[in-house]
Amino acid sequence: MSIDKIEIFLGRLGRKPDLRYTSKREAVCYLSVAVNSFNENLSTWKRVVVWGKQAELCSLYLKKGSEVFVQGLNSIRQFEDQSGNRKSFEEIKAKVVGFTNV
């Protein structure tokens, strides 16, 4: 089951970008972004997936602590692990990732 909705947020990377390539040599980069709440001193962590040339640029220019703007589709994915337990997680499939190289 997949529930998609558009999400836009600003946050900081909690670790360096993780760039990988598919078997068809397509770049995919995983980002872990902390988004601060305006009402509380809590951060919400977002898993962001970036594809193609934008993925390579994120890997090249971003580092832990970099501020990023993300616009994409929030998707909840479900799967069964090796033990047969049902698991789910949220991820943002980024359409736009904005950052400054300061």
Q: What is the pLDDT of residue 1?
A: 46
Q: Are 97 and 48 in contact (CB under 8 A)?
A: yes
Q: Highest mean pLDDT: which of 3-7, 63-67, 96-100?
A: 63-67
Domain boundary assignment for the chain? 4-99
Please give the mean pLDDT across all residues of the chain: 91
The span from the CA of 46 to the CA of 37, in Å, is: 13
What single string gives the DSSP state of each residue in 58-69?
HHHH--TT-EEE
Interval 51-87: pLDDT, tens: 999 999 999 999 999 999 999 999 888 888 899 999 8
Query: Which of the listed CATH numbers 3.50.50.60, 3.40.50.10490, 3.30.420.40, 2.40.50.140 matches domain 4-99?
Result: 2.40.50.140
- Considering the entire predicted model, what is its pTM? 0.84
Report the DSSP beta bridge partners of residue 12: 34, 67
Neighbour count for residue 80 (Cβ, 10 Å): 9
**Residue 37's pLDDT band (boundaries 50, 70, 90)?**
confident
